[in-house]
Amino acid sequence: MEAKITKNDLPVFDTLKKVFGFQSFRPNQEEIIRSILGGKDVLAVMPTGGGKSLCYQLPAKLMDGTAVVISPLISLMKDQVDAAVENGISAAFVNSSLAKEETAAVFRRLRNNSIELLYIAPERFAMPNFIETLKGVRISLFAIDEAHCISEWGHDFRPDYLSLSNIAKTFPEAPLAAFTATATRKVQDDVIAKLGLREPFTVRASFNRQNLFYRVKSKRELASQIMEVLKKHAGEPGIIYRTTRDSVDGLSGFLSGQGIKALPYHAGLEQEERKANQEAFSKDEVHVIVATIAFGMGIDKSNVRFVIHADLPKNIESYYQETGRAGRDGEPADCVLFFGREDIPKIRYFIDRISDDTERDIALKKLNQMVRYASHNVCRRKQVLEYFGEGYANKNCGACDICTGKVEKVDITTEAQIFMSAMSRTGQRFGIMHIIDIITGADTKRIRELGHDKIKTFGAGKDRDKNHWRFIADELLAQDVIYQDGGAYPVLKITDMGKTILFGKEKVSALKREEISKKPRKGKRSGFEEYDKALFERLRALRKRLADEQQVPPYIVFSDKTLHEMCRRHPSALPEMASISGVGDAKLERYGNEFIEEIKTYLEENPDISIQENRFPDIPSERSGKPKGETFEKTYELFKQGLSIGKIAKARSLAESTITSHIEQMIMDGRDIDIDRLIDPAKRDEIGKLFLKLGSWQLNPVIEHFKGTVSYEEAKVVRAYMRWNNG
């Protein structure tokens, strides 16, 4: 392996900043990119949110030819291509969602060597005609996403992936890079063998997602418990996972009835409805998606602020991958699992029907690991990392319910004896809730008919509520003092260990956890900085409008992380905006001035907000926001030639809002702009009078007042004209 990239490698670091807007690499990205640029194969096991896409997109921008990305996530490809195009990368995709004419157009571009990045599905690579087409194209590299799908030991094996074993033989000159977010070491070795990776540079990144807060709650009153979480995340995007279609439909309907913008997603819906619901969520038109595990693989939304598992996942790999949909932008996000032991037999039912003994045993082992995660009072992060073979030395992770709660060791021997006595006196033939009913002295018809109101332990625990006895039952199950036996309706049995406790030969204790009521404020968790919430809402609304104009999801314009940084540093000129993480040259040109103006307006309306003077220490102070570079000159020349805003935008392949921002800035700079060409004088006067009446330069009140007869572009031009003329 050659030495690491240094900042003297200008093409690499220039590309990182100018195309992607980043000042530095995340862990492992630098080494992976260096290997690919050197023609070496790569296997990278990196968690969701670890920046895998940059590892092949940056080389695709620098290398000669087309980078082919193979991914099973067909529904995600358009968003991935849109995001690449927004960054100034020539990208396209080919999959079954395209019409024949669209596919033919992509192939023409491919043969003309005008595509830097091409996304395809694995089944496309299995087509002989497609392989012949690729043979006639210069291929810079192959990148395989979700590479664990080629392994039968993985949690999501896909036979279509097996054809990818031919890549190394068919295209021996092209480096092959395989990426996955979830793979045990056994799966990792299998991926290398199946793909035929040639002495690959292998990275196994940490699975620790520090920005995720893991929490497990006992499933009691599920609907009200979910509402409690949603209230804490009001207006923020999130995913709720359920195991069945009926439960998805029921919960999404309930949430809609509570005034929450929620939609369902499962395989039982028509394809068009699934697609429409996913797009509505991606575009921030609804806040919550309630879904089966059919949803998630096809979502690249970076600003998901919470993931709720309303039912028990079948294994830790699935759980980790699904919680990984939260906080992909690196900002704080919550992962909540509602755990009820009644979910276990539902999963066991399907496991018991697996015909292959080995496969069935593996599935059962993984389920037991998931149950231990949910029921043991051990740091959640530590348990997840140990599953993937990664140690965690910290005694307190600071970002899970165990580590941020008060834990007290209590003796539960007497309660355990009461519980097991009730089990024994009823023949060990009943489930948890019936035993709890006996202990708490419930007057039910079933108890009276069975005569269980006559046994010695009836009502022996009535001084404590049912939640306490459910806690005792869960602890005894977790510590193998008792176990559940049977299928859909399991009964409780006493283990040998349980017998020693029942007869007073051993004691048993439990860790009672009380969550600290005073939670760290959002934005302050584990070193995450605070930001201006009111400004964030303003910038989020602007982002949504611009995204709608571009017909892309808002997070593709800018991530929440980028907006948060704007809200902390308040850039007031283009050079300052260029130093914000996630603002590359293409986005700076398209959106920079719009966001600068929104920030300036906000600060003018809130003069008490203090701005740190040295927040951009490496940039000379430049408060005018005067446009620099040839991009504004091109717009100015075309305007002087008599072209309209629409025609200038088309000629320059930019959004009309971007051209309007150029002109708005030129007006502010005193350029010779004939404003009468842009807006009728009478209409201009009406808008101007309203600005004066409002005493504010904010655009939304103006747009709302004129009820759609005045556009944002018109209002911005008038605002710039008035501000220039009024000094």
What CATH number is given to the structural domain containing 616?
Answer: 1.10.150.80
Tell me, what's the pLDDT at 225?
A: 96
Residue 626 lies in a domain: yes
Please check whether residues 191 and 271 belong to one and the same domain. Answer: no
Please check whether residues 223 and 249 belong to one and the same domain. Answer: yes
Q: How far apart are CA 609 and CA 602, in angstroms?
A: 10
Give the model confidence (pLDDT) of 155-205 as tens digits. 667 777 888 888 999 999 999 999 987 777 888 888 899 999 999 999 988
Please check whether residues 165 and 257 belong to one and the same domain. Answer: no
Give the model confidence (pLDDT) of 666-675 as tens digits. 887 788 888 8
Q: Which domain holds residue 352?
A: 212-402
Tally the C-alpha atoms within 13 A of residue 370's C-alpha that lie toward its C-beta.
26
User: Rounded to the nearest 5 degrees, what angle is found at the Cα of 174, between the Cα atoms of 169 and 178?
Assistant: 85
Asked if pLDDT for residue 526 goes beyond 50, the answer is: no
Tell me, what's the pLDDT at 628?
A: 47
Q: How far apart are CA 579 and CA 235, in angstroms?
A: 29
3-class secondary structure, 240:
strand
Closest CA to 219 of 405, 414, 417, 432: 432
Tell me, what's the pLDDT at 187?
A: 85
Please check whether residues 103 and 190 belong to one and the same domain. Answer: yes
Q: How far apart are CA 350 and CA 488, in angstroms?
A: 10
3-class secondary structure, 293:
coil
Count of residues for the chain?
727
Tell me, what's the pLDDT at 30?
A: 92
β-sheet bridge partners, residue 513 = 407
Closest CA to 66 of 91, 36, 38: 91
* Locus of tokens 């406790």: 501
Residue 144: enclosing H or E segment and its boundaries? strand 139-144
Asked if pLDDT for residue 260 goes beyond 80, the answer is: yes
- From 378, 402, 426, the end of a domain falls on 402
Q: What is the DSSP letter of 162?
A: G
Closest CA to 605 of 492, 696, 505: 696
Give the model confidence (pLDDT) of 242-251 as tens digits. 999 999 999 9
Q: Hey, what amino acid is at 492?
A: L
Listing DSSP states for 9-70 in one string gives -HHHHHHHHHHH--SSPPTTHHHHHHHHHTT--EEEE--TTS-HHHHHHHHHHHSSSEEEEE
Tell me, what's the pLDDT at 518?
A: 41
Residue 520 lies in a domain: no
CB 436 within 8 A of CB 532: no
Better pLDDT: 301 or 506: 506
The alpha helices in 196-235, defined as continuous H runs, are 222-232
Tell me, what's the pLDDT at 644?
A: 85
Which backbone phi and psi does 575 adopt, to 5 degrees?
Answer: -60, -35
Q: How far apart are CA 175 and CA 37, in angstroms?
A: 9
Please check whether residues 486 and 591 belong to one and the same domain. Answer: no
CB 208 within 8 A of CB 30: no
pLDDT band at 154 (very low <50, low <70, confident <90, very high): low
Alpha-carbon dihedral 534, 535, 536, 538, rounded to 10 degrees: 100
Closest CA to 34 of 17, 11, 18: 11
Which backbone phi and psi does 273 adopt, to 5 degrees?
Answer: -70, -40
Tokens coding 611: 């701005």
What CATH number is given to the structural domain containing 139?
Answer: 3.40.50.300
Tell me, what's the pLDDT at 72?
A: 82
Provide CB contacts within 8 A for 210, sequence distance 6+.
Answer: 399, 526
Residue 521 lies in a domain: no
Give the model confidence (pLDDT) of 468-516 as tens digits. 998 899 889 878 899 888 765 789 999 999 999 999 999 998 877 665 5
In percent, how much of the chain has pLDDT > 70? 92
Asked if pLDDT for residue 113 goes beyond 50, the answer is: yes
Alpha-carbon dihedral 77, 80, 84, 85, rounded to 10 degrees: 60
CB 181 within 8 A of CB 321: yes
Taken in order 493, 498, 504, 507, is the CA torsion positive or negative?
negative
- From 171, 204, 237, the end of a domain falls on 204
- 72-81, 120-129, 262-271: which is most confident: 262-271
Tell me, what's the pLDDT at 3?
A: 42
Residue 4 lies in a domain: no
457 CB neighbour count, 10 Å cutoff: 21
CA distances from 607 to 106, 533, 600, 601, 604 (A): 52, 16, 10, 10, 6
Tell me, what's the pLDDT at 517?
A: 45
Q: How far apart are CA 296 and CA 319, in angstroms?
A: 11
- 71-85, 251-265, 464-478: which is most confident: 251-265
Residue 176: enclosing H or E segment and its boundaries? strand 176-180
User: Rounded to the nearest 5 degrees, what angle is found at the Cα of 59, between the Cα atoms of 58 and 62?
Assistant: 95
Tell me, what's the pLDDT at 115?
A: 92
Tell me, what's the pLDDT at 1?
A: 39
By CB atoms closer than 10 A (0-12, 13-18, 19+), residue 506 is middle
Q: Which of 261-265, 475-479, 540-544, 706-710 has the lowest mean pLDDT?
A: 706-710
Residue 3 lies in a domain: no
Please check whether residues 368 and 439 belong to one and the same domain. Answer: no
CB 331 within 8 A of CB 561: yes
Please check whether residues 199 and 171 belong to one and the same domain. Answer: yes
Please check whether residues 609 and 692 belong to one and the same domain. Answer: yes
- From 367, 402, 437, the end of a domain falls on 402
Q: What is the DSSP letter of 291?
A: E
The structural domain count of the chain equals: 4
Asked if pLDDT for residue 622 goes beyond 60, the answer is: no
Asked if pLDDT for residue 399 goes beyond 70, the answer is: yes
By CB atoms closer than 10 A (0-12, 13-18, 19+), residue 622 is middle
What CATH number is given to the structural domain containing 474?
Answer: 1.10.10.10
Tell me, what's the pLDDT at 482?
A: 94
Please check whether residues 579 and 608 belong to one and the same domain. Answer: yes
Please check whether residues 459 and 330 belong to one and the same domain. Answer: no
Residue 353 lies in a domain: yes
By CB atoms closer than 10 A (0-12, 13-18, 19+), residue 719 is buried
Phi-psi region of 66 (alpha: psi -120 to 50; beta: other; left: phi over 0): beta
Asked if pLDDT for residue 558 goes beyond 70, the answer is: yes
Asked if pLDDT for residue 7 goes beyond 60, the answer is: no
CB 672 within 8 A of CB 686: no
Q: How far apart are CA 389 and CA 383, in angstroms?
A: 10
Please check whether residues 411 and 451 belong to one and the same domain. Answer: yes
Q: How far apart are CA 496 and CA 34, in angstroms?
A: 58
Please check whether residues 234 and 120 belong to one and the same domain. Answer: no
Residue 142 lies in a domain: yes
* Locus of tokens 């996304």: 119
Residue 2 lies in a domain: no
Q: What is the pTM of this model?
A: 0.73
